[in-house]
A and B are shown apart, each in its own frame.
Chain A
Amino acid sequence: MSDRTGVVYDLGYQPYEGQRLGRVGAIKAMIKDGLRRTFGIRRKARKKVYPWSMVALAFLPAAVFVGLSFAISSFAPDTDSPFGGHAEYIGLVGTVIILFVASAAPNLLISDREDGVLAVYSSRPLTAWDYIWGRAGALAGVAAAFFLLPNLIMYVGFAALDDRGLASALLNNSDDLIKVIITMVAYVVGYGAPALLVSTYARRVGPAAGTYLAVIFISPAFAEMFRNLNFAGSRYGTLISLLQHPEVVRNWVFERSQSNIPMISVGFEPWLSAVIIGLLGVGTVYLMARRYRREL
């Protein structure tokens, strides 16, 4: 009898036997995909230009001024830099966040509808809420990073230069960090929510970005108009300035003057801006849920 042996391996369908991460894993995957999309990672070079330019715009000034502070002993950041402190730097970053989310939010939401991939999502164990939190989470995470990280660079950098020593300075200035975080929430929701709302209903990426920017930058002009018109009820018109509500919260938290802001000059309290931002966030999530529950 021959002692030659042989075996045939079945290379047909082999079921997946690995770990199944469940809904949390699915949401994390969506956030990861969202981050890749917004930063153009694993995409063509020209898709990276705009987002990374925004990153440079947000981070470089902080890095430069901290660097200058280290390099030049006579350089005093609170007097020599145009960003005397966190509050002023937040003003710069706020503009960058607006420009960034104007492009990022439509790319996150509209591309899925344009490419017809919502059907793919709906065939997975993902609910509409998972989709919403995944996409909103990606946008919020990026906007928060834009906001927080440069301020952290400044916070730690200037603390390192402090005569009291790093640890003491970090501790003593910790309320600054808390203020930055509170303001961050206002900016992320205040600017991110309208972008998501426009992108939920717009058909194309370009016009969505344009509509969002138009609304954000036109609304202060209308608010100013209402301030100047001075008729019964006109003061309520000053509340439509979407650009300025996060600024009001910033000024409130950092105890800065607000007299140039229409809604404050007509007598509204700063906490109203926080309420409006909160309502904007809740309203956006509600409308997104209404839209996407139909599709997913």
Chain B
Amino acid sequence: MKRFIAIVWVTVRQTLSPKRAIGLMLLSGSSAGIYLLYMIGTRGTSGRNVETAFETSIGMTVGVFMNIIVPVVTLIIASSVLGDERRDNTMSFLVLRPIRRYTIAVAKISAAFLEAFLLTGIGAAAFGILVGIAIGTFSYFVPLLVGTAITTAAYAALFVPLGYLLKRATLIGLTYVFIWENGIAAAVPALASLSPWRIGVSAMAGLAPDDFFNLVPADFALGSLTPGAGGALAKALVLIALAAAFMAAVLRRRDLAT
């Protein structure tokens, strides 16, 4: 356990520089910032009531926050947790230790999740608080946080191995997010179960009151997924386990220096 925590701690220190943290925090908090502007701009006007504020928040959640901001923030963090070790030539320090490869893989994915969720979670929390104030109830706060956590975890699992294996991981990850997830998978509902952010939205829909599910554009945001936090969590955990097993196999079988 000590070794696991040590790997996570050092990884977070190495990959989350102040500049990067500020930049990603701004991105993560942009939804909250824009919603705040919306709240200020429509205060006391007929343009805003509980229904419109709620609809707007759902639009922002599935139109920007969950499908773009969370994957992009997680991609930038996750692709560097092992990718940077490889490019900075510190892999030998890590792998020539009496630590199971699976432990290293899980520690790295955990570090990526913790770092990314620190940022996306704060963004989600800020957004959730503002939505709660605007619509008069905080019953969506926890579902939003849970959905964000599951989405972040799923993307961390996907992007950590990508960052290790590919030099252009960020480019390819973005292609995956913008073209596959927001393009192809949007057009084919059956592919939704392969889309981490939709898994997160299904968790949200499962935990939130029914009117959330009624207002969510189901074809785009859920596809063939049924709402349910348990199912979403299970899917994310399966992804994490598979990613960790894959990374462990890579660390066991492949050359670890070039």
Interface set of A (CB-CB < 8 Å, partner B): 102-103, 204, 206-207, 209-211, 213-214, 217-218, 221-222, 224-226, 228-234, 237
Contacts and interface: CB of A to CB of B under 8 A. Distances in A.
Nearest to B72: A214
A282 to B, nearest CB: 23
Interface stretch (B118-126, B171-179, B187-195, B218-226): B171-179
A206 B30 contact: no
A234 B41 CA distance: 8
Contact of A102 (B47, B56, B171): B171
Nearest to A214: B72
B60 A213 contact: no
A217 B173 CA distance: 13
A228 B35 CA distance: 12
List of 3 A-B pairs having minimum Cβ-Cβ separation, nearest first:
A231-B41, A210-B170, A231-B42
B171 A213 contact: yes
Contact of A207 (B30, B60, B80, B178): B80
Interface in B40-99: 40-42, 45, 47-48, 56, 59-60, 63-64, 68-69, 72, 75-76, 79-80, 83, 87
Given A218-B72, A221-B63, A231 B174 contact: no
Which residue among A217, A224, A237 has the maximum number of chain B CB atoms within 10 Å of its CB? A217
17 contacts: A103-B168, A204-B87, A206-B171, A210-B72, A210-B76, A213-B171, A217-B174, A218-B27, A218-B64, A221-B64, A228-B56, A228-B59, A231-B42, A231-B45, A234-B37, A237-B34, A237-B37
A200 to B, nearest CB: 14
A209 B76 CA distance: 11
Contact of B76 (A102, A211, A221, A224): A211
Contacts of B87: 204
A222 B34 contact: yes
A36 to B, nearest CB: 20
Given A206-B171, A209-B171, A233 B63 contact: no
Interface residues of B, number: 34
A43 to B, nearest CB: 14
B170 A225 contact: no
Nearest to A229: B38
Main SS of the interface on chain B? helix
B59 A225 contact: yes
B68 A229 contact: no
A235 B114 CA distance: 36
A230 B79 CA distance: 37
Contacts of A213: 171, 174, 178
B100 interface: no
Contact of A222 (B30, B38, B42, B45): B30
Contacts of B146: none
A221 B59 CA distance: 11
B37 A231 contact: yes
Contacts of B47: 230-231
B34 A226 contact: yes
B13 interface: no
A207 B76 contact: yes
Nearest to B173: A210
Given A214-B174, A225-B59, A229-B41, A206 B34 contact: no
A222 B65 CA distance: 10
Interface in B125-178: 167-171, 173-174, 178
A230 B42 CA distance: 8
A204 B38 CA distance: 36
B76 A233 contact: no
Given A229-B34, A231-B41, A222 B64 contact: yes
A228 B83 CA distance: 39
